[in-house]
Every structure is written in C-alpha cells, then in structure tokens.
Structure 1
Amino acid sequence: MSPTDLGPGGPATIGAAVAHHAAHIPDHPAIVCEGRTLTYQQLHRGANQAARALAAADARAGSRVAYLGVESEWYYELYVACARTGAVLVPINWRLTPPEIEHILRDSGAELLVASEDHLAALDGIRGDLPQLGAVVSLAGYESWRAGRDPADLPDTTDRQTPVVQLYTSGTTGLPKGVVLAQRSFFAVREALADAGLDWIDWQPDDVSLIGIPGFHVGGIWWASQGLVAGVTNVAMPFFDSSVAVGLIRGRGVTTMCVVPAMLRLILREPGVGKADFDQLRKVVYGGSPIASSLLTEAVEAMGASFAQIYGLTETGNTSICLPPADHQPGSPRLAAAGRPYPGFAAKIIDGDGGPVPPGTVGEVCLRTPARMLEYWGMPDATSATLVDGWIHTGDAGYLDEDGYLYICDRIKDMIIVAGEKIYPTEVENALIQHPAVAETAVVGVPDDRFGEAVHAFVALDPGAQATPRDLATFLKGRIATFKIPVRFTFLERIPRNPSGKILRRELRERFWTDRVRQVN
C-alpha cells in the first residue's frame, strides 16, 4: 500500500492517520530535522509514549499543552500525542518576549509546558504568576520524560470535532486571541479536492515535503498535517534560513513545499542558486501575503515547478481560497487574484450594512469553510462578531469577479504583514507610547520589496523632548518581538485624527501606496 492510499474514507483523525502509516509503511521517514529522522513507526510509538506521559502529568482531554521552542521532530510528536488524546496543543512563537509569552500561557490556561532551555531561563521570573501551569518539561529532557512509557497502541478517543490546536493571532486590542481549531480543519481541503478530482494541492507516494512556515503559524502546522496524513516525508527546519532551505531542497530531493513570498525571494537570492537546485521540485504552495508579479514570474521560471497560491486566516483553518496551477499562466490577469474557493467552500463580499454587493464591487471578504475555527478561546463576543451564521468575517477588503475569483485590495482591520508575520498597529503603539518622550504615535504598514511590508511609526514627541529613531527602536527591544519593531520612523508635530479622535491611518499610509494597484504588498 502506498503512503497516500488510505483506503475507503481515509483516516478519521490525525492520530489514526499516523497509526495507519505506522502499520503499512513503518520504515518510511515521517519527520526529518537537522539530520535526525523519525519513521512513521517511531513517530507513532513515540506519540503513544508522550500521550501516556501527558496522562501521568494529569493532562487530559481538553487540557492545554504549550510548546515553546524552535521546530523539531519532538514538536510534531507532541502534536500527534495531543491529537490522539484530545489534549489541545498551544504552540507559542519563540520570538515573542516574556510578557507576550506570559499572556498566552495565562490566557490558554496551559497546564503543561514543553520549552527549550533558553526560554525556560527567561520565564523564571513569571512562573509564580501562572498557578495553573503544573509540569514544565525541558526540550533537552523531552526524550527521557516520555521514555519508559508503554509505546503500545492507545485507543483514539477523538473525532473530527475534537479541538486539537489553539493558535494565537494578534487582535486589534493588542492582545493575541486564541483560535481553537478542531481536527476537521486539517482534513477539509484535502478531502474537498479529492472528492472533486482536483490536484490543486496534491500528494504523491515519493513526495518529500519542506515545511517552510513555522509550526506555530496555522500555515506551518496545516502543511505539516497534510504531509503526515498523506504519509510522505516531511522536512522541518528549526527556523527558516534560506541557505539551509536551498541545501535541503537540493540535498533531500524536496518535491513540494509551502512558503510565504518573502521566503521565495530569499531562496532565489541565495548566492549561486540555479535551476539545477530545483530539479526535483514539482509543486510550490505559497501564501501568507500577496506576491509581487515580478517575484512570481522569476520563481516560476527559476524553479520550473507548478505553483498554487492559497489564501485564508487562522480563523478559517488556514486556506479557503486557492489560485490553482492552471491559472499561473504568464500574462494572465488572474495572477492578481487570490484564487477561488475550494469545492464546497464559499466566498462572499458584503457592504458596511452586511448586504451583498455585485461582482467587481469592493467590500468585506467573508468565507464559509468546513475548516473554520470552533471559537476564540474564552471570548464569546469576539467569536460571535467574527463567525456569523457560519461565515468568517475576515476584515479584508476585496471583490469577486464574474467567475468567482477573489481579489484582495486592502485590509479593513489595519493589519500589517511582514514576511508572513501578522502585526497589529495598536500592539506596537501601546509599547511605543510608554517611552517618556513620546506624546502620541501611529503605526502603519508601508511597501517593502524584501518582506512585503515594513512597520513604519509616526511619532509626535512631548514639547521640548528629544528622541531619535535609534532611541525608540532600542526602547522597544524586549517589550515587543523584534519583528514588530518599526524599521522606519517619521516625526510629526501631531498625529492626524478625525473629529472623533480616531487616527487617520489611511492618510498616513496613502503617500507610500499611491503608485500601487493594491494597498497591500
């Protein structure tokens, strides 16, 4: 039986998929990371041991289990263990600061934390403020923590509706919200395409998949889940490094990968990289931010692979819209589109009153998908505002053409995306306003050829106060994650506001985007 042949109906859950592959292709590599390999049998048995270790630590169905560290095979083993037992994995962006990490641990109610040694040292000062956090496991001691447990099969008591991950995404209040996704979120696209006989995103038995996007992002854990369910070899990097990525693509014979456009650009800019490096690459799935047409043209020509663009949110369980390989034709006007819904998925555009608009009319993008989130953790009002009658209100502005293709034009919610990382202005402003010289500030996204967008801060200082861009950037270090720190500052006498006091962000952004077709990059 080939890795991708899962029999009638396929596996019901992530745990069942790995168990299936452990029985039928036990020696096939499942996860490769930094030269270490877990076969499907090893992954299955290790996940069983980890599941029993979780139970011994009183982590049960519904318990939140946090992971804080770079990508590793143990991260995915822990994911499978949670998926098998009903515990909910809470991956934490390892680039966040201790206060940001503390918020996630507190908000999620995580009862167990697996973390790298450097993060454990940084968290020493806040452990006493997290009474619900019981067991803390060092990544260095992870193997011994679960070693000695019975590796025999466990009954899988979960189903498609069982919560499996809780991913934190920034909100307009500046505090990240926990998006709870069920196991169905990781099967919906695959099965929709299979039922329709479409190969927009497909898998072959000998595929080697590069996980370019970190696992604490929905795109990363979704892509890894697709590979694990398909039974292919999945190559993980501790963190994205373009030189390492090129080496893996060439040396591991990578055939398919999922990346954000900024990663594509960095890969193509690696010294000495050429078409021969991509001889075995057959498909590139990209998303996370819009792609420049020049970059897409360059990538298609250099890599010689089929390309598929995906669009969605953490709240939609990752992708709901796809621009298939057939639409990636040179000169096609559809290259400016995000794509169209998968079979059984839907998109609509609404006006400010919630009513439908005609094709070609810009409004708020709403998506209906069987992969949609269960809820924002502990935030019923926010859940009701975003998930309305089965539709996810994205906060993105766009339009549908006559053929049902979606075009993204702007963001209603002011979000900035830097190399796939979502940043909300309020979060940066809340940190920047704490500087003693800053009277008020406004943060916007501006075009950046390398990372898509850059964080630009407009600052009004107190009368007589002095501060330089270097002063402000230094002040923000340790207060917010490095990727959120503005790379450009403009000093103003005052921040422009409307009569009700709301910052006129569009006025601040406009000068940077006037020559752009889209107001996102």
Structure 2
Amino acid sequence: MSGQEMNAMSGIREVTTLATLPALRSQRLGPKAALIVRDEPLSYDALERRSNQAAHALRREGIHPGARVAVLGRESLDSLVLLFGVAKARAVYVGLNWRLAPEELAYILEDSGAQLLFVDEESAALVPRVFEKMRGPLPVVRVGAPLSAPGAFAHWCEGAAPTPLDMAYDPEEVVVQLYTSGTTGRPKGVLLPHRSFLAISHALEAHGECWIGWTEASVSMLFVPTFHIGGLWWLVRGLALGSTQVVLRSFEPATILSSLARYRVTHTCMVPAMMQILLGEPGIHQADLSSLKAVVYGGAPISTALLEKGRRLLGCDFAQIYGMTETGNCAVCLRPEDHQNAPASRLRAAGRPFPGVQVRVLDEQGHEVPPGTIGQICLNSPARMAGYWHQPEETQKTLVGEWVMTGDAGYVDAEGFVYICDRVKDMIISAGENIYPAEIENVIRSHPEVADVAVIGVPDELWGEAVKALVVKQPGSTLRAGDILRHTRGALAEFKVPKSVEFTEGLPRNAAGKLLKGVLREPYWKGRERRVN
C-alpha cells in the first residue's frame, strides 16, 4: 500500500461500531457528502445529527436495547439515517425484503418480535395485507415521505435532541438481523454484531492491503438492496472509510450510466447478470465512465467473454467476492491482480481468503480433505454471525466453534484458491455419480451465444436424476440444443453433459441475483415426496 493510500485509510480501525461511525467521521469530514440518494446529499455532520435524533425518538417510543426495529422499503435518506439511529439506541435493525409476499413478511415480523415498523411510500399499501396475517398490527412510521404526510419520519423525529445518547457500545453486540432468502423452508434470522461489518476492513488495513483502491477519496455507487448483506456491508464499509456513497433505489441501467458520469463514481458492485444487462445498455458507448476504477462482482463466476467485454467498455479493474450472510458477507476474494492475464480456469475461482479468514474443506464425516478434493467449504471469519435468532439447533449445525459450515461444495487448490462447485443440497446424483450443477453452468456460460444458464436435476426413472440445462440465448442468437451439447462435451465428462436442454426467456433470481433453483425444479418434482432420486 502506498503512503497516500495508507493515510487515506488511516482511522478506519477506530470505527468499531455502527453507533460510533457517524460521530468519528463527522469530526474530520463534517460537511463532506456521506450519502446521495435521489440526488439529495447528506453530509457526515447531518448523518450524525439526524441519527442522534432518530435514536432519541426510538427511546421516546419505548425502544430499549435489544428491541427489534423493522424497515420495509427501498433505500432513502430516512432509512439509512435510521440504520445508525437504531445502532445508537442499541436496538436491532431488521431489514425486510420488499419483494416478499405478505405472508412471508408477516412471518418475519412476528418471528423477529419487531416492535416498530418503518415503511416507504411504495410499500405502504402492502402493510394492511401483512397485518391481516399477524396476531396484531405494529406502530408504523413512514420513511422517505414529505413532512406533511401522516406519520412521516421527519415529523416523528421532531423535538428529539441532535446530541448523542449516553451509552457505551460493544462491537460484539448484535446490531442487525437479516433473514436468509428462504429458498428452502422458513427463513432464518441471522444475528450480526457490529464487528460483522467492520472486521474485514480492519484486517485489510492491518495487513497493509488497500482493497481495490477504495479510500476516503473514493465515490462508490450502490444499487444492491440493503436488506441483503452485500448491500449493507458495502454501504457501511464506504462510510467507515469516509468516502461518498451514491445510493440508487433500484437497478436501472440508464440511471446507473448517467449517475456514474454525474458523480464521478470510482467503485461499484453487482452480480454478473447485472453486468451483462448494463454492458448491453444502448447508451453505454456514449457514457463517460472515465472515473470508474473497480467493479466488484459476486454471486457467480464471470465468463471470459463477459470479463473482456467489461474491460473494454468499462476500462477498470474487476474483483470477485464470495461469502454469505452468516460470514458477515465477503470472506474470499479474487483480486484484480488475479484477473490479469488469468487462464479461464482461474476465473472460475472465488479467490483467496481475506486477511484474518481461514478456509478448510471437509468430507461427509467432518474430516479435512487434501487440496483439489471436493467437500463442504467451511470458513472461519472475524466477521461471522453470532447465530440464528431463536434457533439454537440450526445455529449449532451452521456455526461449529468459530467455523461457519457454508453448505457450499467446493475445493481449494494447491495455491490456496477456493473453487465453489455448488450448494451441497443442489448436488445431482445420476447413476451413482455426484454432479455439481455450477461446474456445468460455468462451461455452458462460456459459449458466446449464451446470456444465462441454470442446471438442475430432474427425475429419471432409470438413472435417478438427469441433468437438465435451462438456457437464455443472447439476442439474435440461433443457438440450438445440439450446439450446447457439443460445447459441453468438449469440456466435461460424459455423465455431466446435460441429457436435455430447454431454452427460456429468463431465469428467476432473488434480489441478490442468486438463481432460485427451487422455483426451477418445482414443475419437474411436483407431487413427489422426495426432491432427489
């Protein structure tokens, strides 16, 4: 790390909690823009004052340490101020996925024991339907609403002091409760202490690594929702560094391009599917993207073709991160230097561990396996969760000592690079062979006429399960099933080659960009007691 970069990062280790972050940054950066939402800036000074007011208002409302406060809606200055107000009140922030159905939202509100619900204008109409499915309604405050609106956040905060509460804060205390996507069974509330959002940043600085060149002078853009660990972690890291965060309320390629130029954005993050869409936006060839220094992607590997297109059109570095809510977001990274002149096989790696993170791979008996052998990936990260809310048995299954059992199947090579093959539960067993769909997807995705792909196991009376590929073509493509089969046969063992290929207009994904494999499997396994053969 250069001396200039070290100076720009200095002080991040003094930020040990979300509660103290605004005050520490406002002391030095006062009038600098901390947040820009809907083209409205909020300075570090204002973030400190307004989050103090929110904390006092929460206490006035009867919210005491450990109480759950739920937030439903897209990002606004109000909702982001509230995050730090909740932290200052020593309460717990419960971010709700606004794409969920009323029944799912009702379950999370009741499971969390939320005492207060903050909701934006777009989600307000959903609230009565949610309350109908609960034992009773909650008090509601409107975020992102004008002062004149009934129950508006600004009006709710009126009269509250802009000074700090007289409280001490512990990095080990839970500050956020995020719910897993719930693609299988009921969602679980992941308990995240303050350190989950700051430990990796501290380790990077201690190790002398200015990750992707992100410093106080940077301007980052966020359009991943903050009810997802990736979006929330990205937001907190940027603020802890003292940089400016441009927060968009949704993924809109045209708005992203114009905002990149307008605010001279240097860093952003997305999933490869988002990148594919952004790079296909008609205005990208005219957009001024000269300020962009790095794009971080996650959720899936990147194809060589997409990486090369990104380099050509965006002209910046790329880094991949891997982690999960239970690990406090990223634990492993394929750094920019790992992308340079890398063979295609290296681009399929998730990367190497961040400083302070350990990785091991276990077989079904819990024994560590040698390099190159597939097993369950286990991570020991200083940012790991404290456990699952009110689910001690599930906690014991996932958090074994200091190790998070990820449920991902993969291996570590001789150089320490981690490769993710698939979710353990997504493994296809065909004729006694264990098949990992992600490996097949990586090969199919490398075909230049493939825009997206998902591989699933479908029932087969002879072999138990058969490999099926669901493929989205590039616009104008005349791709046929035989082309896909020939392409895979050149790179995969015969038993891994799909037995059928189906073309589709699109694939279902959650807000984090993750494929909803359960949705894809449902038509083929419907009516069967077991979802594997």
Q: TM-score, normalised by structure 2?
A: 0.78
Distance (Å, rounded) in 2 between the aligned partners of 1:259 and 1:283: 11
Distance (Å, rounded) in 2 between the aligned partners of 1:112 and 1:118: 18
2:230 paired residue number? 219
Percent of residue pairs bearing the same amino acid type? 41
Shift of 1:341: 0.7
Q: Does 1:100 align with 2:104?
A: yes
2:94 paired residue number? 90
Distance (Å, rounded) in 2 between the aligned partners of 1:489 and 1:64: 35
Q: Is the 8 A contact 2:200 2:356 kept in 1?
A: no
1:234 paired residue number? 245
Q: Structure 2: give runs of 5+ residues left out of the alignment.
A: 146-151, 428-436, 442-453, 457-465, 475-507, 509-514
Alignment of 1:336-415 (within 5 A): 336-414=348-426
Distance (Å, rounded) in 2 between the aligned partners of 1:487 and 1:174: 13
Distance (Å, rounded) in 2 between the aligned partners of 1:339 and 1:293: 16
Q: Is the 8 A contact 1:113 1:133 kept in 2?
A: no
Shift of 1:344: 1.6
Shift of 1:119: 2.6
Distance (Å, rounded) in 1 between the aligned partners of 2:168 and 2:473: 48
2:291 paired residue number? 280
CA gap 1:490/1:239 in 2 versus in 1, 3 angstroms = closer
CA gap 1:313/1:5 in 2 versus in 1, 3 angstroms = closer
Q: Which amino acid aligns with 2:378?
A: C
Distance (Å, rounded) in 1 between the aligned partners of 2:266 and 2:411: 34
Distance (Å, rounded) in 2 between the aligned partners of 1:188 and 1:107: 28
Q: Which amino acid aligns with 1:82?
A: V
2:265 paired residue number? 254
Q: Which amino acid aligns with 2:271?
A: V
1:151-202 alpha-carbon deviations (Å, 9 max, x no partner): 1233342221111111111346421111110000111111111111112344
Among 98, 110, 114, the alignment partner of 2:114 is 110
Q: Is the 8 A contact 2:254 2:283 kept in 1?
A: no
CA gap 1:128/1:504 in 2 versus in 1, 3 angstroms = closer
Q: Structure 1: give runs of 5+ residues left out of the alignment.
A: 426-441, 451-475, 477-482, 506-521
Q: Does 1:22 align with 2:48?
A: no
Distance (Å, rounded) in 2 between the aligned partners of 1:187 and 1:378: 25
SS of 1:366's partner is strand
Distance (Å, rounded) in 2 between the aligned partners of 1:490 and 1:104: 24
Shift of 1:131: 5.2
Shift of 1:26: 1.1
SS of 1:413's partner is helix
SS of 1:309's partner is strand
- Per mean C-alpha deviation after superposition, the further-off stretch among 289-298 and 232-241 is 289-298
Aligned residues: 455
Q: Does 1:191 align with 2:202?
A: yes
- Per mean C-alpha deviation after superposition, the further-off stretch among 483-492 and 195-204 is 483-492
SS of 2:326's partner is coil
1:426-455 alpha-carbon deviations (Å, 9 max, x no partner): xxxxxxxxxxxxxxxx999845568xxxxx
1:355-377 alpha-carbon deviations (Å, 9 max, x no partner): 11110011111111010011111
1:78 paired residue number? 82
1:465 paired residue number? none
Q: Which amino acid aligns with 1:391?
A: W
Distance (Å, rounded) in 2 between the aligned partners of 1:446 and 1:59: 48
Q: Does 1:138 align with 2:142?
A: yes
Distance (Å, rounded) in 1 between the aligned partners of 2:135 and 2:158: 27
Shift of 1:142: 1.0
2:531 paired residue number? 503
Shift of 1:353: 0.7
Distance (Å, rounded) in 2 between the aligned partners of 1:93 and 1:9: 31
Alignment of 1:260-275 (within 5 A): 260-274=271-285
SS of 2:153's partner is helix
Q: Is the 8 A contact 1:32 1:236 kept in 2?
A: yes
Q: TM-score, normalised by structure 1?
A: 0.80
Q: Is the 8 A contact 2:320 2:351 kept in 1?
A: yes
- Per mean C-alpha deviation after superposition, the further-off stretch among 136-145 and 407-416 is 407-416
SS of 2:53's partner is helix
Distance (Å, rounded) in 2 between the aligned partners of 1:138 and 1:446: 42
1:394-431 alpha-carbon deviations (Å, 9 max, x no partner): 1111010011110111211239999xxxx9x9xxxxxx
Q: Does 1:157 align with 2:141?
A: no
CA gap 1:226/1:275 in 2 versus in 1, 3 angstroms = farther
Distance (Å, rounded) in 2 between the aligned partners of 1:138 and 1:48: 18
Distance (Å, rounded) in 1 between the aligned partners of 2:111 and 2:388: 11
Distance (Å, rounded) in 2 between the aligned partners of 1:215 and 1:369: 21
Q: Which amino acid aligns with 1:504?
A: V
Shift of 1:285: 1.3
CA gap 1:179/1:487 in 2 versus in 1, 3 angstroms = closer
Q: Which amino acid aligns with 1:336?
A: R
Distance (Å, rounded) in 1 between the aligned partners of 2:82 and 2:39: 19
SS of 1:119's partner is helix
Q: Which amino acid aligns with 2:219?
A: V
SS of 2:394's partner is helix
1:307 paired residue number? 318
Q: Does 1:50 align with 2:54?
A: yes
1:228-278 alpha-carbon deviations (Å, 9 max, x no partner): 101111011111111111111111110011211122112111103138532
Distance (Å, rounded) in 1 between the aligned partners of 2:410 and 2:342: 21
Q: What is the alpha-carbon root mean square deviation over aligned residues?
A: 3.4
SS of 2:308's partner is helix
Q: Does 1:243 align with 2:247?
A: no
Distance (Å, rounded) in 1 between the aligned partners of 2:46 and 2:381: 34
